[in-house]
């Protein structure tokens, strides 16, 4: 029969459970409790303050294996993975250091951190000081999850999540419930952008922290189906010519632009959390309409795509056309 720690897959490093948490104790009762910890304290308390380094591999006869390296943890000489020549080690302090400025500037604390298995996969979960509830029951919890790996196959990722991660099971739920907004392989060209990642996370955390009042304002702005359609037309930039053809000439055309518009309008009433956001029958509000746009940009457009296409869509949602659509959606919703 499996022990609880085996079920939760928490790593043991030099006899210590590699896990730390604040607030409520995890049900498996592993790890060390901390109070209002920042990244440095969490790394030490969770036994994640070690480094990894690449070392050559040799066969039994002394011949060196070319192009392959062992990624070795310094505190116990454990081999966490065999990697190729393009692999660039990313230390836990570097990976989770992207959260430190958010701790210092916005009152964010580290809710939990830990390592799984032999320590090849690690996580750190940051908690914002306040929760947001634009409408009763539609609570937006302020967690931000960063994961990294050391075996050559686990990328660096970052994402907001409503899940409190304390073990492998909850980590899996968090990773499958929300898309990663940042994903980087452990190669030099991608890890060179870590400073940009830190700045982006600071902006996202700041936006989450101040968004409660803004979201409540949106929830108070009532919109009927006609107003919602007009709003989505404006957000997506449906052309005046197309609107004239449809509204005044009565000619219904299924253009790509109109199909996209109709999908977003449908999400206002049938998307994830639509009823909680206040959309019912033909009535909605600016909060529900804005949610529909973000759901379309972040999730619907990436559905059933290849991994490369999903990464490109996520990049668009952060820096490109997708980001501009969401930015325009918020501005128009506030002005509605």
pLDDT tens-digit series, residues 246-274: 555 455 556 777 788 888 989 988 887 67
pLDDT band at 31 (very low <50, low <70, confident <90, very high): very high
Separation of alpha carbons 188 and 67, rounded Å: 16
Q: Is the pTM of this model over 0.75?
A: no
Q: Which has the minimum average pLDDT: 88-92, 117-121, 176-180, 256-260?
A: 176-180
pLDDT at position 7: 43
pLDDT above 70 covers what percent of the chain?
A: 79
**Closest to 119 in 3D by CA, of 87, 74, 159:** 74
Averaged confidence pLDDT in the chain: 82
pLDDT at residue 213 greater than cutoff 90: no
What is each CA distance from 165 to 161, 162, 218, 281, in whole angstroms? 9, 9, 30, 36
Separation of alpha carbons 169 and 141, rounded Å: 19
**Average pLDDT, stretch 226-254?**
71
**Closest to 261 in 3D by CA, of 325, 197, 201, 209:** 325
pLDDT at position 313: 59
pLDDT at residue 311 greater than cutoff 80: no
pLDDT at position 2: 33
pLDDT at residue 199 greater than cutoff 70: yes
pLDDT tens per residue, range 125-137: 998 776 666 666 6
pLDDT at residue 190 greater than cutoff 50: yes
**Closest to 175 in 3D by CA, of 150, 199, 143:** 143
The domain locations on the chain are 4-208, 221-335
pLDDT at position 212: 60
What is each CA distance from 64 to 58, 61, 73, 77, 152, in whole angstroms? 4, 9, 20, 19, 20
pLDDT band at 5 (very low <50, low <70, confident <90, very high): very low
**Average pLDDT, stretch 145-158?**
93
Spacing of C-alpha 205 from chain mean position? 11
pLDDT at position 96: 95
pLDDT at residue 19 greater than cutoff 50: yes
User: 316 vs 165, which has greater pLDDT?
Assistant: 165
pLDDT at position 238: 79
Judge contact between 42 and 72, C-beta under 8 A: no
Give pairs for 160-164: CB < 8 Å, separation 24+.
160/204, 160/208, 161/125, 164/111, 164/112, 164/125
pLDDT at position 170: 79
pLDDT at residue 51 greater than cutoff 60: yes
Separation of alpha carbons 315 and 182, rounded Å: 8
């Amino acid at each position: 029969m499996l022990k609880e720690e085996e079920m939760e897959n928490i790593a043991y490093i030099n006899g210590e459970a590699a896990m730390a948490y604040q607030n409520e104790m995890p049900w498996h009762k592993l790890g060390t409790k901390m109070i209002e910890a920042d990244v440095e304290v969490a790394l030490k308390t969770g036994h994640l303050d070690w480094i990894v380094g690449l070392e050559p591999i040799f066969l039994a006869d002394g011949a060196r294996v070319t192009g392959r390296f062992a990624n070795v943890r310094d505190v116990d000489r454990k081999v966490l993975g065999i990697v190729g020549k393009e692999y660039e080690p990313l230390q836990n302090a570097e990976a989770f250091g992207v959260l430190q400025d958010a701790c210092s500037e916005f009152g964010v604390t580290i809710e939990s951190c830990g390592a799984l298995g032999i320590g090849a996969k690690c996580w750190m979960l940051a908690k914002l000081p306040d929760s947001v509830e634009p409408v009763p029951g539609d609570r937006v919890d302020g967690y931000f999850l960063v994961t990294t790996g050391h075996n050559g196959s686990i990328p660096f990722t970052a994402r907001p999540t409503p899940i409190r991660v304390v073990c492998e099971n909850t980590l899996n739920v968090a990773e499958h419930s929300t898309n990663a907004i940042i994903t980087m392989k452990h190669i030099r060209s991608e890890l060179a952008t870590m400073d940009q990642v830190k700045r982006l996370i600071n902006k996202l955390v700041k936006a989450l922290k101040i968004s409660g009042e803004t979201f409540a304002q949106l929830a108070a702005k009532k919109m009927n189906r006609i107003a919602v359609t007009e709003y989505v037309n404006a957000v997506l930039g449906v052309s005046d010519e197309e609107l004239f053809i449809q509204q005044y000439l009565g000619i219904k055309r299924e253009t790509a632009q109109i199909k996209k518009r109709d999908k977003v309008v449908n999400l206002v009433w049938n998307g994830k959390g639509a009823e909680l956001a206040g959309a019912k029958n033909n009535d909605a509000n600016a909060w529900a309409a804005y949610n529909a746009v973000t759901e379309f940009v972040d999730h619907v457009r990436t559905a059933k795509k290849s991994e490369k296409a999903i990464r490109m869509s996520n990049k668009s949602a952060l820096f490109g056309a997708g980001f501009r659509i969401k930015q325009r959606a918020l501005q128009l919703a506030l002005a509605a």
